[in-house]
Amino acid sequence: MANIDLTAQKNAEQWLGSDAIDSLTKASIKDMMQNNIEQFNESFYRNLEFGTGGLRGIMGIGTNRMNEYTVAMATQGFANYIIESNPNKEIKAVISFDNRNNSKEFAQITARVMAANGIKVFLFKELRPTPELSYAVRYFGCDAGVMLTASHNPKDYNGYKAYWNDGGQLVSPHDTLVIEKVMKITDYSQVKIQENLDNITIIEKSFDDIYLEEVLKLSLNPQIIKKHSDIKICYTPLHGTGITLVPKALEMYGFKNINIVSQQAIIDGNFPSCKSPNPEEHSAMEMGINLAKEIDADILLATDPDADRVGIAVKDQSDEFILINGNQTATVLTYYILKNLKENSKLKGNEYTIKTIVTSELIKKVSESFGVKNYDVFTGFKFIADKILQLEGKEKYICGGEESYGFSIGDFVRDKDAVSACCMIAEVCAWAKEQGKTFFDILLDIYLEYGFFKEELISITKQGKQGAEEIQNMMLAFRKNPPKTLIGLEVVRIKDYQKQLNIDLKNNTEEALDFPKSNVLQFFLEDGSKVSVRPSGTEPKIKFYFGVYNKLHSIEDYPELLKKANEKISRIIGELGLK
Q: Which residues are catalytic?
A: 151
Where is pLDDT greater, at 538 or 295?
295
Per-domain residue ranges of the chain: 46-205, 228-435, 453-575
On the question of pLDDT at 465 being above 90, the answer is no
Lowest-confidence pick of 12-21, 51-60, 184-193:
51-60
Mean pLDDT across the stretch 339-347? Answer: 97
Give Cα separations from 303 to 365, 419, 537 (angstroms).
Answer: 28, 8, 21
- Which amino acid, one-letter code, is at 216? L
Please give the pLDDT value at position 579.
72
- pTM for this predicted structure: 0.93
Do 453-575 and 46-205 fall under one CATH topology?
no
Closest CA to 535 of 442, 464, 470, 444: 470
Mean pLDDT across the stretch 327-338? Answer: 98
Mean pLDDT across the stretch 448-462? Answer: 92
pLDDT digits 0-9 by tens, 69-85: 999 999 999 999 999 99
Mean pLDDT across the stretch 377-403? Answer: 96
Mean pLDDT across the stretch 139-166? Answer: 96
Looking at domain 46-205, does it have CATH number 3.40.120.10? yes
Confidence band for 467, pLDDT divided at 50, 70 and 90: confident
Please give the pLDDT value at position 263.
97
Mean pLDDT across the stretch 343-365? Answer: 96
Lowest-confidence pick of 145-159, 176-190, 240-254, 527-541:
527-541
Share of the chain above pLDDT 90, in %: 90
CA neighbours closer than 13 Å in the CB half-sphere of residue 130: 32
Domain 453-575 top-level CATH class? alpha beta
Range 228-435: architecture per CATH: 3-Layer(aba) Sandwich (3.40)
Closest CA to 398 of 374, 426, 418: 374
Q: Residues near 53 by Cβ (< 8 Å), separated by ≥ 6?
A: 161, 169, 380, 382, 537, 538
Q: Please state, rounded to an integer, the average pLDDT across all residues of the chain.
A: 95
Confidence band for 275, pLDDT divided at 50, 70 and 90: confident
pLDDT digits 0-9 by tens, 81-104: 999 999 999 999 999 999 999 999
Please give the pLDDT value at position 50.
86
Please give the pLDDT value at position 528.
82
Interatomic CA distance for residues 198 and 211, integer angstroms: 26
Interatomic CA distance for residues 489 and 467, integer angstroms: 32
Mean pLDDT across the stretch 498-526? Answer: 93
